[in-house]
Amino acid sequence: MAKDGTNRGGRRVRAGDKQIPLSDKITKGKAAKILEVPNLQPETILEASDLDGAENLNGRDMPSPSDYLSAKQRDGKLLGADLLFAETWKWLKDRGCEKFINPRLIESYAQAFTRYIQCEEAISTYGLLGKHPTTGGAIASPFVQMSQSFLKQANLLWYEIFDIVKQNCTTAFVGDPQDDIMEALLSGRKGR
């Protein structure tokens, strides 16, 4: 600890050997530590007679995204981050890792990525140049800088989520929901 009270030094980010995903450790027969989530409900033994009306049973549902993820924007459109939240949650649930990730982390990722998309749409609408408020000269559009900032934030949050999945997923998986989102963004431009 430095004299000013801040922590300095220590291990550098991404220093050392690259971590091996849990599924690869298991398939290679290496020692692997699997994170167990305690069952919060007491275990009960069910009899067939206890299952009357079983067709009405529901599994654990996705938590409801916060209202701000679907708030109406100034231009009248909905933000749409709630859709990205649901898509990311489904992707995590398919891999059995939804219980390891705080829903607030997914909300933060969804909002940052949707804000990035908004900035890209504004760049498409208004162009790469703007008008200086006092001199009237051409300046770089502020949406470009904001777009880069939101994309960086979204990527950092996604790396955090993906690292948790990589370290805790017991089955091999292929695919990344970010690829699907980027594909949707890029395919929207094909019609021009």
DSSP state of 5: S
- 163 occurs within a structural domain: yes
- 61 occurs within a structural domain: no
- Sign (positive/negative) of CA torsion 142, 114, 175, 89? positive
- 43 occurs within a structural domain: no
- 136 occurs within a structural domain: yes
Q: Are 11 and 5 in contact (CB under 8 A)?
A: no
Q: What is the pLDDT of residue 191?
A: 43
Distance CA 138, CA 190 (A): 30
- Joined together, the tokens standing for residue 75 give 């231009």
Model pTM greater than 0.95? no
Distance CA 19, CA 152 (A): 23
Q: What is the pLDDT of residue 192?
A: 39
- 148 occurs within a structural domain: yes
- Sign (positive/negative) of CA torsion 52, 56, 59, 61? negative
How many structural domains compose the chain? Answer: 1
- 33 occurs within a structural domain: no
Query: Please, what is the angle between helix 142-168 and helix 81-94, to 10°?
Result: 20
Q: Which domain holds residue 171?
A: 66-183
Q: What is the pLDDT of residue 21?
A: 84
Distance CA 84, CA 114 (A): 8
Class of residue 61 by CB neighbours under 10 A (exposed 0-12, middle 13-18, buried 19+): exposed
Q: What is the pLDDT of residue 102?
A: 92
- 89 occurs within a structural domain: yes
Per-residue pLDDT of the chain (192 residues; tens, 9 = 90+): 667 777 777 777 777 888 888 888 888 888 887 777 666 666 667 676 666 665 554 455 788 888 989 899 888 889 999 999 999 999 998 888 888 899 999 999 999 999 999 999 999 999 999 888 899 899 999 999 999 999 999 999 999 999 999 888 776 656 666 666 666 666 665 443
